[in-house]
Chains A and B, each alone.
Chain A
Amino acid sequence: MTGPADLVFYLLAILTVASALLVAILPNIIYSAVALLFSFAGVAGLYVFLSADFLAATQVLVYVGGILVLIMFAVFLSSRISDVRLSNPVHFSWQAALVCLALFGVLSFTAVSTNFPVKATVSSQPTTAEIGELLMTRYLLPFEVASVLLLAALIGAALLSRPERGTAGTPDMEEP
């Protein structure tokens, strides 16, 4: 079948893959971060096509709104913007390109040539209620473990990024 839905799907696929390629090859890391934004947005669109509406919203909120802002902050805080070319040299490595192209060929050939037991399509339903119910019943233990992990990551990140205190004996607020 061909129609507007297929056209939008192909546009999203091209957006996602082309942006990911730009992330890999662009010399300036700020341009790479912006390309990563478009790649994440394209993946969110693909989730909509797979009738995963909750996951698409989560992707936009967490990846585009959270992780990408974190990455931007790290880029701005950790590299001198004026000589970004010096801080982020990109080396074209034909060995790496060869390995990646070969892997892509193998993976694509496997994906296309395998007969997956695809079931008939059903009409897409909203999934948020079902995900919430499953998280509170069947997947309760992973849910709680994930919350503890997030707390640990929060404390760890705050502890790591805190400015260094002076060691005992050399107080850092010492008068000159």
Chain B
Amino acid sequence: MDHLLPSEIADADRAFPEALAACGDLDAVLRLKGAYVGREASHAARLMELLKAAPREQKRDLGAVVNALKNRWEEALKARQAELEAVKKAAGGATWDDSLPPPLPARGALHPLNRLMDSLVDVFRPLGFHVEEGPEVETEEHNFDGLNIPADHPARGSADTFYLAAHPGQLLRTHTSPVQVRTLKQLAPEIHAKGGIRFLAPGRVYRKDEIDPTHSPMFHQVEGMLVGHGIGMHHLKGTLEYALRALFGPHTEIRLRPSYFPFVEPGCEVDVSCPLCGAKGCRVCKGSGWVEILGAGLIHPNVLSFAGIDPGEWSGWAFGMGVERMAMMLSQTPDLRLFFENDQRFLKAMGGLD
């Protein structure tokens, strides 16, 4: 039907996309709009005149062509106008409403458990501790045997420990302590050159506990270990006093109580003066002023021997703490499950970002 149009209109239509693209600002679009679809002296106005004057039998076809053309121009102009408006808005300084709060950039969050583990690493770094890690699927040798855990210990049972169906000797580690075994074995040949061993092992561990407000089949631990010459309980106490004060504040007191873990001797539980009430007695410390925070002790000579380190020459300490437990205590989060629900509001509030 284009043959119905005068050549200058057809030319104008061909030039239209380029002219539109060349419009650098809204004024230019308005000028182009005037030229193409304005009321007077525009291409559209000219077409309307043509239509009026057209012979009766052509009117219908011509009308359709004119309308299509006009619509196309109008739509394209509108789109370009919106585009330039958006650009202008984005560029925006001039039109910004100063009374509004300036927009914040997107902000996510680290998980609170990861932040807590990172803080522990930060606290131990100045003492020369680095980070060692191990796999979550472990062998009985690393998870139990190398830690002086007797062959008939109930923790080895399938009621407590997850085992792999196709690989009978393999299990999901029940603590981060197998990292001790791996690291001691790995570093034993170069222990003299390195001048001992000191590391933290943060990570995920698994125990066959039903999910409830205080239990989870997966949780996190941070293990700490040091091997050197002449290491005794005083070194364990000194290190933990430093670290727990760094975490809970300079006025924190610590208390060691005798306890038993097969992989340490002597063994102890470590309490801190309640960081929430300043040891005055509250709900969290059950009025005692103390909160149990971790288990520790001097590395059992059998553990060193198993790894090929002479317990006659070397000695050391180890500790292990539950990250969730500490996080719950510090934040008074009432339910462990919140840490695995990952509600963004919880993560933002509890984990945040440095």
Q: Do A and B bind each other?
A: no
Binding site for B on A (CB under 8 A): none
Binding site for A on B (CB under 8 A): none
